Structure formats: C-alpha cells, structure tokens
Amino acid sequence: MINQQKVEELKRFAVQIRLEAMKAFRVLGFGHVGGSMSIVETIAVLYGEVLNIDPKNPRWPDRDWVVMSKGHSGPALYAALALKGYFDTSELLTMNQAKTRLPSHCDRNLTPGVDMTTGSLGQGMSTAIGVALGNRLDGRKSHVYLVLGDGECDEGQVWEGALFAGHRKLDNLIAFVDYNKKQLDGYTKDICDLGNLAAKFAEFDWFTQDIDGGDIEQIYAAIQKAKSQHAKPSMIVLNTTKGKGCTFAENVLLNHHMTFTREQADQAIAVLEAELQGGARK
C-alpha cells in the first residue's frame, strides 16, 4: 500500500510534469501534446516512487530502465527527468530547437536519463526485451519498464515481441499501454480496433491488468503486483485521456500533434499553476 501523503506528493509531481512540459511546448507553439499529457501519472509514479535510479549517475548499470517506445511522449519524460535533477529545468525551453539535447523523440545519446532511443513505433518492444534479457543473463535484479502507445500496438513488431517475452518468461519486464483510445489521425476503434488488449497479451502468456491510468494509487498498486509475479512479463493497460490536463487539448479529437497560440498555452499554464498552488494550501 501507498500512504495518502505519498499519493498527494505524486499527484503534485504529475501537475509539475504537465506544467514544465507545457512551458516547453509554449516556446515553439506546437508539439506532441496529447500523448505526452496522457502518460503523465504513470511517469510520476515511476520517477516519484518506483524506480531504482541515480540522477547523478544516469548510466548506473544496476538501475531500472524506462523505454518510452512511444517516443513522441518525450516532452513529459524530459520534464520528469529535469525535475528529478538529471539536468536543469531551464533546458526544457530548448526542446526541439537547434543543438538541443531534447529532440522531438527520445534519444539516449543526447538526453541524460533517457535509457533508449525511440520514436520508430514498435521498436521499443524489441529493445526493452533485449535489455531485460541481457540484465537477466548478467544476474541483475533491475526491472525494465516499457511504455507503448495504443496506436503503436497496430505494429506487428509489438506482437512478435510479446510472443518472445512470454516464451522467455521475462518477469523483469513490466510494460504499459497508454490506452487513450486515439492515434495520429483518429480513434483506434475506427482505424484498427484493438479489442481487449489485456486479454490479447494474456494469450501471449503475460500477466495482465487493466486499470485507470489517471489514478495514482491504482498505478502504484498495479506495478507492485506486477513486480510480485514470477515467470511472466507483465502488461498494465492504462485507460487514459489524451491531452489530459491541457485546457486546449483535452477535448479535441485530433490532439496527437498540435499547433496552438501563445494565449492558449498561457491559459493552460495558468490553470496548472493554480492547481499547484491549490494543492500547496491543502
């Protein structure tokens, strides 16, 4: 169990991640807002409570790994890394600009704290499996946390990897699907209906859970339950809202990559700042 004080801390951390990501988006007035915002609570739980990491030693061999396979959600990951001290938050304002260390998609060769280069959808499944298998062969006790997009699950490589990981019983691999039910150009059900994702992964011999991906307590509990399982990789299906917490994105259909005005960004930032201040007064 996680106590209520920690829950409130993690909720605050999630708002801080959204706020810092929005400040970064505001500079250029465009970006992958939708999928960055929908995965924030999971990032907050991982970096705020779960991961065994050392920001002063990003390449520590025994660390837990995070593979953000849906690499376009890098802005949320960058915000969490900055808040954890991998680099200064001021660097977030260079995102997607010339000579930045924070490109549109995650790059382990540029960004301190990014464990795997991602962005070509489907490939994160394979690389995460490779890391998990390698760590097991080396006798490491660490876990690999993989984040997939729901639209990304249209890729055959995801299911080839799912078959391999189940067969190899990679119980040090814990995966999430950010099931916000949208992809680049519409709803997943209209483009390539995913059906029951938890049931599908279970058929590939994964331990599966289906939870509210915006609920800090459910996310934490699901991760702990996954870590207690043996002889199977784990899949946690996160039912989320694309664009969550962003005033100009949350209720828009096509919110995968968006352009927006300075005024829209300022309003979204003001709402998040007020949410932080309100939490501080409780």
The CATH number for 62's domain is 3.40.50.970
Domain residues for 181? 4-281
pLDDT at 279 over 90: no
Angle at 38 between CA 277 and CA 116, to 5 degrees: 110
**Contact by Cβ (8 Å): 147, 68:** yes
pLDDT, one tens digit per residue, over 61-106 is 999 999 999 999 999 999 999 999 999 999 999 999 999 999 999 9
pLDDT at 135 over 90: yes
**Residue-level pLDDT at 281:** 44
**Residue-level pLDDT at 50:** 98
Return the DSSP state at 72.
G
pLDDT at 224 over 70: yes
**Contact by Cβ (8 Å): 124, 68:** yes
**Contact by Cβ (8 Å): 17, 48:** no
Nearest to 256, CA basis, from 99, 98, 36, 67 = 36
- Distance from the Cα of residue 64 to its chain's centroid: 14
Q: What percent of the chain lies above the pLDDT cut of 90? A: 97
Please count the structural domains in the chain: 1
pLDDT at 196 over 90: yes
**Residue-level pLDDT at 278:** 85
Q: Is the pTM of this model over 0.95?
A: yes
**Residue-level pLDDT at 151:** 97
